[in-house]
A and B are shown apart, each in its own frame.
Chain A
Amino acid sequence: MVEELPIAPALVDPVEMAVTGERLRALCEDVGELLVRSAVSSNIKERRDCSTGLFDLRGRLVAQADHMPIHIGSLLWGVRALLAKVPPEDLQPGDAFLCNDPYAAGGTHLPDISVLSPVFVDGRPAYLVGNIAHHADVGGPVPGSVSGRSTSIYAEGLRLPLIRLARAGRIDQDLLDLVVLNMREPDDRRHDLLAQLGANAKGAELLQAIVRDTGSATLEAAIDDLLAYTRRRIAMAVAALPDGDYAAERWLDDDGIGDDPVRLAVRVQVRGSALHVDLTGSGPEAQGAVNLSASSLEATLAYCVKALLDPSVPANDGLLQAFTVEAPLGSIVNPRPPAAVAARAVTSNRLAGCVFQALQPALPPHRRMASHNDSTTLVALAGTRPDGTPFVYPESLGGGAGAMHGADGAEGVHVHTVNSTNLPVEVLEAHYPLRCHRHALVTDSGGAGRWRGGRGIERSLEALVDGLTVTLRSDGHRFPAPGLDGGLPGRTTEVLLTRVGSAPEPLPSKTTLTLMRGDRLTLRTLGGGGLGPPSARPASTLAHDLAIGAISEAAARAAYGDALVEAVLGIAQPA
């Protein structure tokens, strides 16, 4: 049953709304760019792991720049904490607030620090501008503060509730000193926090110019229009789905500490234009740091709704109001303090994969896709070069994407809420005492189907010095990416250690070990699922798969059948 939604009933001024949308988006992009240019932390400067948002005093997200999906709405919880703690009459121009704690201030994980500043119009606070950035370290036992093995938030670094860092433009130096002392490389941390403050100041200036140009009442009406319009767009996209309950489950290999897999359960309920996501049945709080904080959960689900239903819709309050969530308290998707949360990237990605999978039957066939790698494999190698200098080489590997209706899955990519580049082999070998023996797509790793799942990534590294520490944080070793509509699952991740003179031995997904000179570490990440029955794959396409080594003859026979393979081998191969 679809409600009758008239075309343009409630918008006051669609033209003003569109222009305002562009201007506010430009503001957030400008502030974000300024932050990226002035930061020293490579997470901010190079990976652009930061986000900028604009809020009104009703606590609504008005505009956000398109940076990392995991940050959609992440600033919002900090804004709510600010509005709950600080009455408007206590705000002054030049104030700035900090927070990061997931339990006290709705943060995502401790390295992501939010800085929030009020923007004044006609002498009264009218808006808030904020940015969140991933700092390279916030203390805790392991450099980088993102260890998967912490068992409590107390061990993850410095926890910041909503605190005032600057009053009327004057920074509280004692507070800043205290904060950065608890972080490694404090000078860099200080530099980046000040960069965040500076970016907000610029944002305030830009917003005040927009208010002057547009008029504050007109701007407020345009913002109301923008949020209502966004809400309406999602509502219409949901209404286009058949009513029903759509359920799926996926599993994490383990909870970071123990050996048992952890269930993620999703039931998406569609009733007209209402969308409800029920996570009942999801596993208990993880012992390790893979719990999903509330704002990470909301961001993950907002990303799913946007990506699946209306990718170009702006990220604002209209999107966040378009769905409701139910997550049992004390589960991995709604942890209680002091559960650890630093390493939640895989949980977020696997949950996104679960929501995507649940909704496939609701989508028309031409929009369907099989499951992606929904994971990430993080490996860090640390040691000392022959010239005595220490080094740390972190790498994060994607895998195969799921096949889509009409196309094979993309190969060797990151998906969902993770997005970073790899290190080119030329640079790797020039800077680290490592030799890369193989950097390739993993044969036979994409799930078979009418359309094939994308292949995972192989990287094989040899230590050229003794005493190289390897920290591995991987997943997808136990449960493959499922196929869809008759397509087969992809292959799981495998990590192998080959000591000099020994046979390769498989490693668990989370481990630390030491390599000696000549030892090799081989990572092969998981592939995406296939879509549609393998028997329907055209012979010429399968011939191409065989020719480029995407699939071996043995695997092709097993998945596609001898008859198809015989037919293929009869087709002339390109020279």
Chain B
Amino acid sequence: MTPVPVRLCLSGPAAGVAAAARLACSHGLDLVATFDVGGTSTDVAVLRGGEVPFTPAREIDGLPLRTPMVDMDVIGAGGGSLARVDEAGGLTVGPDSAGADPGPVAFGRGGTMPTLTDALLVLGRLDPAGLLGGRVPVDVAAAAAALEVAIARPLGLDVQRAALGVVRVAVAAMVRCLRAQAVRRGLDLRGAWLVAYGGAGPTLAAEVLREARMAGFLVPPEPGIFCAAALLGGEVAADHSATLLAAVDDDAWPRVVAAHQRLRDAADAWLAGEGVPAAARSFPLTLELRFRGQGHDLAVGFADGRLPPPAEVLAALAAAHARALGTTVEGRAAELTVLRVRAVGRLATAAPHPRPTPLQLHPHRRVGLPGGRETVAVLDRAALVPGTQRPGACIVQELTSTTLVLPGQRLRVAADGALMVQEMRDG
């Protein structure tokens, strides 16, 4: 199989989704939405039953890409999203971003327009002593001044209320995209847990939980490098597929069996090339099928990699059809269009489990919350032990991110160190 460079697109966020799926399984969470908020964008995916959702085609930068990729939406809203009041008096956050350069006003690299990160700093939700354990100094006064000129004054609000408004608008846009993903997959967000990572995911998750009325949110250890860490551990996988156009019947089947064997061999050779030992290799199979006359294929999976005989394939298609589309189809012939063998290899190297870096923290600070400013406890994640429970409001800081828990929510630290937050009426 020749290397396919386009498969690198979104590989980082995709690894994050795969890792979030494993995390969901280990916590027994059936319905989960991933919430990866970085500097320029937010990536969201909705998962059920620990299965990473794939889409056969998507658009990157306006260009169509017809190769199976993790099904996620990318929203133009992140920490660097620019907040502005337009000439007609409307407040918008993003999709324009200050990026890494010049970045938020508070980073002192020449940014003059306030960003979402600037608003979070002004609200005290991010540490005024600096990010990344103090390695990135921040100028909160400059952020406040920028917010005053660009947002507060035109809207006739004080700076704190302006900052709260910026966060609310950003969160509303993110929730809209989360809902769209969920609805598209026929799932209801209300029963779902949010898995929050990226630099800013844990900081915004509490508001998203409340706005979207979800069941809770979970923050894995070192959320700011969750995707990178996921790429190092976990699995390697690559699809090997063939378009076939064969009837699902005994006459056509030998051709299908031969194609399947060829794909298996190619997949096996690829895994050998990736250094995956034979015992760690598997070959889940997907058949793209349709009933004669239909316009769309249904992907029917066979996780054990075995290609069943035609009668069994027909039965599996009928069941999948009923589940996905709610209708049963009787006595219709079926066709196979694509055979897809996924080469999956569990890596010999274990995923890294970095020990958390202890921080020098002020035990509390003034924080802008929806109900007003309050003095809020600030906790070092490195010092939290599994089993800890605390009511909000509180802030948990670590090297690569900051988690906010709102009043009315409760924090619990799980056995694996994950932070689990729910509304108190649910928890």
Bound Cα distance A553, B11 (Å): 45
B176: A residues at CB distance < 8 A: 22-23, 25-26, 29
Q: Does B180 contact A (CB under 8 A)?
A: yes
As a 0/1 sequence over residues 141 to 165 of chain B, the CB contacts with chain A under 8 angstroms (1 = contact) are 0000000000000111100010011
A572 within 8 A of B: no
What residue of chain A has the Cβ atom nearest to residue B245's Cβ? A430
Q: Which one of A30-38, A397-405, A492-500, A528-536 contacts B?
A: A30-38
Q: Any chain A CB within 8 A of the CB of B295?
A: yes
List, in ascending order, chain A residues with CB within 8 A of B245's CB: 430
User: Is A18 part of the contact surface with B, judged by Cβ < 8 Å?
Assistant: yes
B155 lies within 8 A of A8 (CB): yes
**A356 CA / B389 CA spacing, docked (Å):** 62
Using CB atoms, name the residue of chain B closest to A20. Answer: B172
Nearest-CB distance from A221 to chain B (Å)? 14
A441-458 CB mask vs B (1 if < 8 Å, else 0) is: 000000000000000000
Given contacts A8-B155, A14-B89, A14-B165, contact A19 B184 (CB under 8 A): no
Report chain A residues within 8 Å CB of B374.
none
Given the contacts A14-B85, A14-B155, A30-B180, A233 and B90 also touching, CB distance less than 8 Å? yes
- Given A8-B85, A430-B245, A18:B90 Cβ within 8 A: yes
Nearest CB of chain A from residue B85's CB, rounded to whole Å: 7
Q: How far is the CB of A136 from chain B (nearest CB, A)?
A: 13
Known contacts A23-B172, A46-B295, A236-B88, A8 near B179 by CB under 8 Å: no
Distance between Cα atoms of A137 and B158 in the complex (Å) = 57
**Bound-state Cα–Cα, A321 to B180, Å:** 29
Tell me if B186 and A37 are in contact (CB < 8 A): yes
Question: Do A233 and B173 contact each other (CB < 8 Å), given the known contacts A15-B155, A33-B184, A46-B295?
Answer: no
B22 within 8 A of A: no
CA A9 to CA B327, docked complex, whole Å: 55
Q: Please, how many angstroms separate the alpha-carbon atoms of A430 and B184 in the complex? A: 29
Whole-angstrom distance between the alpha carbons of A14 and B91 in the complex? Answer: 6
Measured between beta carbons, the chain A residues less than 8 angstroms from B322 are: none
Please determine whether A18 and B172 come into contact, CB atoms closer than 8 angstroms.
Answer: yes
Task: Tell me if A11 is interfacial: C-beta within 8 Å of chain B.
Answer: yes
B residues less than 8 Å from A30 (CB atoms): 179-180, 183
The one of A14, A19, A232 that contacts B172, using a Cβ cutoff of 8 Å = A19
Question: Contacts of B186 on A, CB cut-off 8 Å?
Answer: 37
Q: Of all chain A residues, which has the CB nearest B161?
A: A15
Contacts of A232 in B (CB 8 A): 88-89
| B327 CB contacts on chain A under 8 angstroms | 40
What is the bound-complex CA distance between A26 and B89, given in angstroms?
Answer: 22
At the interface, yes or no: A103 with Cβ under 8 Å from chain B?
no
- Which residues does chain A contribute within 8 Å of B169, judged by CB atoms? 15, 18-19, 22
Q: How long is the Cα–Cα vector from A17 to B327 in the complex, in angstroms?
A: 41
Which residues on A sit within 8 Å (CB–CB) of B92?
18
Which residue of chain A lies nearest to B184 when distances are taken between CB atoms in the complex? A33
Tell me which residues across on chain A come within 8 A of B156, comparing CB atoms.
Answer: 8
- State which of A5, A10, A33 has its C-beta within 8 Å of the C-beta of B183: A33
Q: In the complex, which residues of chain B have a beta carbon less than 8 angstroms from the beta carbon of A23?
A: 172, 176
- State the Cβ distance, A313 to closest chain B Cβ, in Å: 9
- Flag whether A514 is at the interface (Cβ < 8 A): no
Contact with B along A410-448 (1 / 0, CB 8 A): 000000000000000000001000000000000000000
Residues of A within 8 A of B168 (CB): 15, 18-19
Chain A 214-259 residues near chain B, CB threshold 8 A: 229, 232-233, 236
B87 within 8 A of A: yes
A22-B173, A26-B175 known; A8+B183 contact, CB < 8 A: no
B416 within 8 A of A: no
Min CB–CB distance B87 → chain A (angstroms): 6
For A46, give the chain B residue with the smallest CB separation.
B295
Instruction: From B89, B172, B184, give the contact of A11 (CB < 8 A).
Output: B89
Verify if A168 is at the interface (C-beta below 8 Å from B): no
Complex formed: what's the CA distance from A29 to B173 in Å?
Answer: 13
B86 contacts A by Cβ under 8 Å: yes
Residues from chain A with Cβ under 8 Å of B172 in the complex: 18-19, 22-23
Q: Which chain A residues (20-65) contact chain B, with CB distance < 8 Å?
A: 22-23, 25-26, 29-30, 33-34, 37-38, 40, 42, 46
**How far does the Cβ of A210 sit from chain B's closest Cβ, in whole Å?**
11
A30 to B161, CA, bound (A): 30
Give the total number of A-B pairs whose CB atoms are below 8 A apart.
Answer: 82
A15 vs B161: C-alpha distance in the bound complex, in angstroms?
10
Residues on the B chain within 8 Å of A233, using CB: 86-88, 90
B89-132 near A? 1/0 per residue, CB < 8 Å: 11110000000000000000000000000000000000000000
Q: Determine the residue in chain A with the shortest Cβ distance to B213.
A: A209
Most buried by B among A22, A38, A233, A236: A22
A14 touching B90, Cβ below 8 Å: yes
Query: For the complex, is A7 an interface residue (Cβ under 8 Å from B)?
Result: yes
Which among B88, B179, B183, B295 is the interface contact of A229 at CB below 8 angstroms?
A: B88
Task: State how many angstroms separate the Cβ of B136 from the closest Cβ of chain A.
Answer: 29
Please name all residues of chain A whose beta carbon is closer than 8 Å to the beta carbon of B164 when the two chains form the complex. Answer: 15
B154 cross-chain contacts in A, Cβ below 8 A: 7-8
Interface string of A485-521 (1 = CB under 8 A from B): 0000000000000000000000000000000000000
B183 pairs with A29, CB closer than 8 A = yes
Q: Are B180 and A229 in contact (CB under 8 A)?
A: no
Most A C-beta atoms less than 10 A away, residue of B90, B92, B168, B179: B90
Chain A, residue nearest B164 (CB): A15
Please indicate which of the listed interface residues B88, B89, B173, B326 has the most CB atoms of chain A within 10 Å of its own CB.
B88
Contacts of B88 in A (CB 8 A): 229, 232-233, 236
- Quote the shortest CB–CB distance from A78 to chain B (angstroms): 25
Chain A residues lying within 8 Å of B89, measured Cβ to Cβ, are 7-11, 14, 229, 232
- Give the distance in Å from the alpha carbon of A33 to the alpha carbon of B88 in the complex: 31
Quick one: CB contact mask for B60-96 with A, threshold 8 Å, 1 for yes? 0000000000000000000000000111111110000
Q: A23-B172, A26-B176, A233-B88 are known contacts. Are A42 and B165 too (CB-CB below 8 A)?
A: no
Chain B min CB distance to A477 (Å): 31
Nearest-neighbor residue (CB-CB) of B178 within chain A:
A26
Closest to A391 in B: B293
Distance in Å from the Cβ of A49 to the closest Cβ of chain B? 15
- CB closest chain-A residue, reference B243: A426
Which one of B87, B165, B295 has the greatest number of beta carbons of chain A within 10 Å? B87
Residue of A nearest to B182 (CB): A30
Q: How far is the CB of B187 from chain A (nearest CB, A)?
A: 11
User: Complex: how many Å from CA A229 to CA B87?
Assistant: 10
Given A14-B155, A15-B165, A18-B90, check contact A7 B85 (CB 8 Å).
yes
- Which residues of B sit under 8 angstroms from A18, Cβ to Cβ? 90-92, 165, 168-169, 172
Would you call B85 and A34 a contact (CB within 8 A)?
Answer: no
Interface bits B175-202 vs A (CB < 8 Å: 1, else 0): 1100110011010000000000000000
* A526 vs chain B, min Cβ distance (A): 24
In the bound complex, CA of A11 to CA of B88 (Å): 9
Question: Considering only CB atoms, which chain A residue lies closest to B166 in the complex?
Answer: A15
Which residues in A have some Cβ–Cβ distance to B below 8 Å?
5, 7-11, 14-15, 17-19, 22-23, 25-26, 29-30, 33-34, 37-38, 40, 42, 46, 229, 232-233, 236, 430
User: Lowest 3 A-B CB distances belong to which pairs?
Assistant: A8-B89, A15-B165, A22-B172
Known: A7-B87, A14-B90, A34-B183. 15 other contacts (CB 8 A): A5-B87, A7-B89, A8-B89, A8-B155, A8-B156, A11-B89, A18-B91, A18-B92, A18-B165, A22-B173, A22-B175, A30-B179, A33-B183, A37-B186, A42-B295
10 A-B pairs with C-beta separation under 8 A: A8-B156, A15-B165, A15-B169, A18-B92, A19-B168, A29-B179, A33-B180, A33-B184, A34-B183, A233-B86
